Amino acid sequence: MSASLHIPCDAAVARSIGPSSRDHGFVAKPRLVLVATILASSLAMVDGSVVNVGLPVIGRSLSADAGALPWVINAYLLPLSALLLLGGAAGDRYGRWRLLIAGVALFAMASVACALAPNLAVMLLGRFLQGIGAAMLMPNSLAILGQTFSGEAKGRAIGIWASAGAVAGAVGPVLGGWLVDIGGWRGIFLLNVPLAAAAIALARRAMPPDPDADGLPLDIPGGVLATLALGGLTWALTIGSGRGGWTTDAMALAAIAAALLVFFVVVEKRLGERAMMPLTLFASKSFIGLTLLTILLYGALGAWLVMLPYVLIEAAGYSSTAAGAALLPLPLVISCISPIVGGVAGRIGSRMLLAIGPLVVAAGFLLALRIGGSADYWKDVLPAVVVLAVGLSFAVAPLTTAVLGSVDTRHTGSASGFNSAVARTGGLVATALLGAVLAMEGDLLLRAFHTALWIGAAASAAAAMAVLVLVDR
């Protein structure tokens, strides 16, 4: 999903955090800190994109039913989406550097388990553990970045971090496709091990003395309920969108997931400001509109990042390397255009840009309807990828500014972290609905792909409508 692109409010997490009062006066080595945080976050970036490209061959190698393939993606996205906010709070409680190193180590060990997986069950367990590791390392790598730098230096550091993320997003699918073509899919997971080792080594050199615990309790009930609710919802959607349709079991799972979500909201309301998702965020109509925009737009993007390489490999006969390279313009265009759009948003405001962007994304989905069994990259695939990337560029930078501006200053960290989690939840839900597409072959696969493109265009248009109706001028 959007695991292969930096979520805009990931950077906002770093912007919203200042130096910690528990740093004991330690002056961090800023260059080492920057490199360590880039390497740590690149684990999640590269892994998300390369697995999308390797999905067809992983399914064949592990004899996995096509309807179960979405779980290779969602077993990772589920804990990442549900535990992202809890991972940041745990860093505040136990030390951000400790959580960063522990998350990177867990991610590396889980990657080895995925590389050695003899069957789908072991693969999914490894992916789930990767998601927990990512939920620990992502928010804390950004929090460390925010507390290490200040003023103009913070802006430069975040810019370098975002540029490195764009490079990782561009290189990841191509590198993953090449590894699949030359040596099989297991190498795409082993690629994480040297990255993790380098990140841990640099982090240990740069880290300050471990701070004292801040005494704040963690929202463990919220984290458990969010994981169970999203897991149940994902399972229900995967079954319901498969060949069997909405059976009694699927509907029962959906009902249980809905009940757990209601219980989660009740628990969060009781916890108040100590909750991982403070309900006071939703007092802002603009924040609600931006949340709807995020889940719809990033859900459509998540489906696109899974479907396009799969269809190009399975229906159009592309190699894994070529299918990975097909996505190359997406992060490159976004990294070139987003800074310009960010400057424009500073002059005219974010609202209109946030409404225009999803409509351009919808046009990109409609252009992709030209992709068929004999798809020519330059005529059929590239125009859709570029148009979609331009539309996303109109949303990336303005969304960060709009989310931070939609709540009071006390809640900027919670708002940006929640928006990151929502973006990944959008990808989680969208991928769960792709079972019907991935289960098809030949012309039926192309027909299901085109249906999904129409749905993606509609979701993007709905995201624009959410902005126009709910976000203040």
Cα dihedral value 442, 445, 446, 448, nearest 10: 160
At residue 412, the pLDDT reads: 66
The answer to the question of residue 214 being in a domain is no
Which of 259, 275, 291 is the endpoint of a domain? 275
Indicate if 280 and 268 belong to the same structural domain: no
Indicate if 280 and 270 belong to the same structural domain: no
Cβ-in-10-Å burial (0-12, 13-18, 19+) of 282 comes to middle
Please give the residue that has the higher pLDDT: either 137 or 366: 366
CA distance 160 to 158: 5
Indicate if 234 and 189 belong to the same structural domain: no
Tell me the pTM.
0.85
Joined together, the tokens standing for residue 162 give 């975002």
Average confidence score pLDDT of the chain: 83
Domain total of the chain: 2
At residue 209, the pLDDT reads: 62
Asked whether residue 24 carries a pLDDT value surpassing 60, the answer given is no
Asked whether residue 220 carries a pLDDT value surpassing 50, the answer given is yes
The answer to the question of residue 30 being in a domain is yes
At residue 25, the pLDDT reads: 44
Joined together, the tokens standing for residue 382 give 């590239």
Indicate if 254 and 321 belong to the same structural domain: no
Asked whether residue 81 carries a pLDDT value surpassing 60, the answer given is yes
Q: How many CA atoms lie within 13 A of 388 on its CB side?
A: 31
Give per-residue pLDDT as tens, 323-357.
Answer: 888 888 888 888 888 778 877 777 777 889 899 99
Indicate if 155 and 12 belong to the same structural domain: yes
Q: Where are the alpha helices (DSSP H) in 184-247?
A: 187-190, 192-206, 220-240
At residue 68, the pLDDT reads: 79
Query: Where is average pLDDT lowest: 16-20, 255-259, 287-291, 364-368?
Result: 16-20
The answer to the question of residue 92 being in a domain is yes
The answer to the question of residue 309 being in a domain is yes
Asked whether residue 22 carries a pLDDT value surpassing 60, the answer given is no
At residue 16, the pLDDT reads: 60
* CATH number of the domain that residue 179 is part of: 1.20.1250.20
At residue 15, the pLDDT reads: 61
Give per-residue pLDDT as tens, 54-63.
Answer: 888 888 888 8
**Mean local confidence (pLDDT), 388-409:** 81
Q: Which of the listed ranges 144-158, 163-177, 345-359 does the model predict with the highest average pLDDT? A: 345-359
CA distance 17 to 470: 28
At residue 216, the pLDDT reads: 64
Q: Which of the listed ranges 234-238, 311-315, 334-338 does the model predict with the highest average pLDDT? A: 311-315
CA distance 286 to 373: 43
Indicate if 126 and 270 belong to the same structural domain: no
Domain with 156, as residue range(s), is: 2-209+276-470
* Per-residue confidence band for 413, with pLDDT thresholds at 50, 70 and 90: low
Which of 240, 258, 275 is the endpoint of a domain? 275
The answer to the question of residue 388 being in a domain is yes
Indicate if 20 and 10 belong to the same structural domain: yes
* DSSP assignment of 427-466: HHHHHHTTHHHHT--HHHHHHHHHHHHHHHHHHHHHHHHH
State whether the Cα torsion 173-129-108-202 is positive or negative.
positive
The answer to the question of residue 331 being in a domain is yes
Asked whether residue 125 carries a pLDDT value surpassing 80, the answer given is yes
Joined together, the tokens standing for residue 74 give 């969602």
Please give the residue that has the higher pLDDT: either 16 or 24: 16
Give per-residue pLDDT as tens, 266-285.
Answer: 988 888 777 777 788 787 88
DSSP letter at 352? H
Which of 249, 275, 301 is the endpoint of a domain? 275
Q: Which of the listed ranges 4-8, 89-93, 327-331, 377-381 does the model predict with the highest average pLDDT? A: 377-381
Indicate if 66 and 124 belong to the same structural domain: yes
* Per-residue confidence band for 123, with pLDDT thresholds at 50, 70 and 90: very high
216 in helix, strand or coil?
coil
CA distance 273 to 268: 9
Indicate if 327 and 374 belong to the same structural domain: yes
**Mean local confidence (pLDDT), 120-130:** 93
Indicate if 187 and 122 belong to the same structural domain: yes
Indicate if 93 and 51 belong to the same structural domain: yes
The answer to the question of residue 84 being in a domain is yes
Indicate if 334 and 422 belong to the same structural domain: yes
Q: Helices H, strands E: what count in the chain?
A: 18, 0
At residue 26, the pLDDT reads: 46
At residue 273, the pLDDT reads: 73
Asked whether residue 182 carries a pLDDT value surpassing 70, the answer given is yes
At residue 210, the pLDDT reads: 55
Asked whether residue 23 carries a pLDDT value surpassing 60, the answer given is no
* Per-residue confidence band for 466, with pLDDT thresholds at 50, 70 and 90: very high
The answer to the question of residue 239 being in a domain is yes
**Mean local confidence (pLDDT), 233-253:** 81
Asked whether residue 293 carries a pLDDT value surpassing 90, the answer given is yes
